[in-house]
Amino acid sequence: MRTEVSSYIAELTSELVGSGRRPVVRNGYHRTMSVATAAGSVEVRASTRLNDKRVEEVTGERKRFSSAILPPSARKSPKVAEVLPLIYLHGLSSGDFVPALEQFLGSSAGLSPAAVTRLTARWQADHTAFQDRELSTTDYVYVWADGVHLRIRLEEAKAAVLVLMGVRADGTKEVIAVPDGYRESSEAWAGLLRGCARRGKRAPVLAVGNGPLDFWDALSEVIPDTRHQRCRVHKTANVSDALPKSVQPAAKRAIQEIHHAEDKDHATRAVLDFSPSYQAKYLKVVKRTTDDEDELPAFFAFPTEHWIHLRTTNPIESPFATVRLRTKVTKDAGSRAPELAVLFKVIESARARRRAVNAPHLVALVRAGARCEHGRLVERDERAA
């Protein structure tokens, strides 16, 4: 800190103000302050205060020196400041920071609920900027769509947050939009898709979602050229839950034969084998499987390396597990806007752990119109390219 002050004064030595006086001179010492670090509380005193006689041209106020090493408002080290938001995101309530960390850090400075809560205001601004960003520069070839329902303590109804995630042309996964909503309706999904289109988002080749028709109705209306792929995990669970427990193990194996077939022809034969076994007693269950015969195996028309990613909405479900864990610890969300900002940050914080799709070089070929047979690339549609 002494070196920082000396460098600041040395840079202005050649400048003079008034009657030939130096513009910056030393003026005593700052008072001692306590700073929370990973090693505990440390008493620190800035070496020197500076008297700066220069004036800002725009505001007309005196210039002030601010240390980059120890700003005047610093009560915790940068490392501690980086850790606190992560702890909050992973479930520690703002009121628990002082009792949980005071003994570890040696001080409660910078750990008040108000200091932690101020983080959500900054996250809300980040979320707003994220929702308004331009999408024309990024091409999303595959997308996943799903919603998460959060219980808000101060409201009677649950909050339905819609999430759209996509695969870029380089194979990396990225969150596209996380808007607020009151329920998963076709109007809400259509509004999300139209908003993305207004910001320049190109229509994806394939969209993956779960069973409810709301998203599919909105997708057919706004982006009719995009193919549909139903989530096999949700479909298996829905079919299995409609059967008696004694029949469920065998039914699950039969359904998995459909979803894990080596190609679409084998999947179609597996559906035909499934129907006679359960049609007599469980006609409605069989219809749940055969009604989606065109949309459940849509992934077979794409490279084999991508099948594991396209069969389910797991890329969205995994971050949601962290969100649900956090809301359980904090006894549900207190209000809608802060919790939406927290949810956005939880999903964004998982970006570093989000792996790219297998064979990422094939994603660009899918966008270019490459055709696959039995999961293998056989030719390229020159007109689409």
Instruction: Give the domain CATH number at 128.
Output: 3.30.420
Tell whether 212 is covered by a domain.
yes
pLDDT digits (tens, 9 = 90+) for 325-366: 666 655 555 566 777 777 787 777 777 677 889 999 999 999
169 and 275, same domain (yes or no)? no
237 and 176, same domain (yes or no)? no
| Percent of residues, the chain, with pLDDT higher than 70 | 65
Confidence band for 385, pLDDT divided at 50, 70 and 90:
very low
Confidence band for 207, pLDDT divided at 50, 70 and 90:
very high
199 pLDDT more than 90: yes
Half-sphere exposure of 112 (CA within 13 A, CB side): 6
pLDDT greater at residue 136 or residue 109 = 136
Tell whether 80 is covered by a domain.
no
Mean pLDDT value of segment 269-286: 73
129 and 170, same domain (yes or no)? yes
Confidence band for 108, pLDDT divided at 50, 70 and 90:
low
Looking at the structure of the chain, the number of domains it has is 2
Please tell me the predicted confidence (pLDDT) of residue 143: 94
Confidence band for 384, pLDDT divided at 50, 70 and 90:
very low
162 and 222, same domain (yes or no)? yes
What is the rounded CA–CA span in Å between residue 70 and residue 68?
A: 6
304 and 185, same domain (yes or no)? no
165 and 293, same domain (yes or no)? no
Tell whether 365 is covered by a domain.
yes
85 pLDDT more than 50: yes
What is the rounded CA–CA span in Å between residue 359 and residue 336?
A: 39
Give residue 294's domain range.
232-311+355-385
Tell whether 191 is covered by a domain.
yes
Tell whether 293 is covered by a domain.
yes
178 and 117, same domain (yes or no)? yes
Tell whether 4 is covered by a domain.
no
Please tell me the predicted confidence (pLDDT) of residue 171: 92
Is residue 278 within 8 Å of residue 285, measured between CB atoms?
yes
Mean pLDDT value of segment 212-232: 87
279 and 305, same domain (yes or no)? yes
Please tell me the predicted confidence (pLDDT) of residue 383: 44
**What mean pLDDT is reported for the chain?**
75
Confidence band for 40, pLDDT divided at 50, 70 and 90:
low
Q: How far is CA 148 from CA 160, 229, 358, in A?
A: 6, 19, 27
What is the rounded CA–CA span in Å between residue 225 and residue 139?
A: 16
pLDDT greater at residue 264 or residue 136 = 136
Tell whether 70 is covered by a domain.
no
Please tell me the predicted confidence (pLDDT) of residue 20: 65
Q: Which of 3-12, 69-78, 232-241, 255-264 has the lowest mean pLDDT?
A: 69-78
363 and 304, same domain (yes or no)? yes
What is the rounded CA–CA span in Å between residue 249 and residue 254?
A: 9
Which is it for the CA torsion 202, 203, 205, 211, positive or negative?
A: positive
139 pLDDT more than 90: yes
Confidence band for 262, pLDDT divided at 50, 70 and 90:
confident
Question: Could you write out the three-class secondary structure of the chain?
Answer: CHHHHHHHHHHCCCCCECCCECCEEECCCCCCEEEEECCEEEEECCCCCEEECCECCCCCCECCCCCCCCCCCCCECHHHHHHHHHHHHCCCCHHHHHHHHHHHHCCCCCCCHHHHHHHHHHHHHHHHHHHCCCCCCCCEEEEEEEEEEEEECCCCCEEEEEEEEEEECCCCEEEEECCCCCCCCHHHHHHHHHHHHHCCCCCCCEEEECCCHHHHHHHHHHCCCCEEEECHHHHHHHHHHCCCCCCHHHHHHHHHHHHCCCCHHHHHHHHHHHHHHHCCCCHHHHHHHHCCCCCCCHHHHCCHHHHHHHCCCHHHHHHHHHHHHHHHHCCCECCHHHHHHHHHHHHHHHHHHCCCCCCCHHHHHHHCCEEEECCEEEEECCCCC
pLDDT greater at residue 325 or residue 312 = 312
Residue with tokens 């995101």, as numbered in its chain: 89
Please tell me the predicted confidence (pLDDT) of residue 48: 62
302 pLDDT more than 70: yes
166 pLDDT more than 90: yes
pLDDT greater at residue 348 or residue 140 = 140
Mean pLDDT value of segment 246-270: 78
Four-point Cα dihedral 197, 203, 206, 208, nearest 10: 0
Instruction: Tell the burial category of 289 from Cβ atoms under 10 Å away from its Cβ (0-12, 13-18, 19+).
Output: buried
- Which residues, including other chains, have CB under 8 Å from residue 143's CB and lie 6 or more apart? 164, 165, 166, 167, 176, 204, 206, 207, 208
Q: How far is CA 370 from CA 16, 78, 356, 381, in A?
A: 71, 49, 20, 6
Please tell me the predicted confidence (pLDDT) of residue 329: 55
Q: Give the residue among 55, 363, 341 at the shortest CA–CA distance from 205.
A: 363
342 and 327, same domain (yes or no)? yes
Please tell me the predicted confidence (pLDDT) of residue 94: 65
305 and 248, same domain (yes or no)? yes
Which is it for the CA torsion 319, 325, 328, 334, positive or negative?
A: negative
Half-sphere exposure of 20 (CA within 13 A, CB side): 0
305 and 348, same domain (yes or no)? no
Mean pLDDT value of segment 103-114: 63
Mean pLDDT value of segment 141-161: 72
Tell whether 54 is covered by a domain.
no
pLDDT greater at residue 158 or residue 180 = 180
Provide the token pair at 65. Answer: 């020196």
pTM above 0.75, yes or no: no
Please tell me the predicted confidence (pLDDT) of residue 152: 62
